Amino acid sequence: MSDFQTFIYVRIPEMWRLALPPFGNHMLSLIKDTALISIIGLNETMFVAKQAITVTGEPFTMYIVVGAIYLGFSTIVTLFVMGVEKFGERTTVGAK
């Protein structure tokens, strides 16, 4: 095998399996710390929730909805990373 083929077929599969868990943690941290990477900002979401509270008078309901939105996004990222990790572990089942 050439150096390039060794890198593509041997080294990359080993590297991405090891790099995936920290990458997943970093993605979750980005969602929590940067408010969904500026797609849906925490300030905007909370502002809309405060406006809804003034209309409905139900603060806990609105804050639960905002929390559910963030929980939903975090769950989607977590499930995606878990699926990719499971896909990566398929070749190491008998190697332990």
Residues 20-29 have a mean pLDDT of 83
Tell me the per-residue pLDDT of 25-77, one tens digit each, with 9 for 90 and over. Answer: 888 777 777 654 455 566 677 788 888 888 888 888 888 888 888 788 888 88
Q: 47 lies in which domain range?
A: 3-95
Please give the tally of structural domains in the chain. 1
Which residues, 6+ apart, have CB-to-CB distance to 9 below 8 Å? 1
- pLDDT of 96 reads 52
pLDDT band at 87, cuts 50/70/90?
A: confident
Q: What distance lies between CA 76 and its chain's CA centroid?
A: 6
Q: Among 20-24, 42-46, 62-66, 82-86, whose mean pLDDT is lowest?
A: 42-46
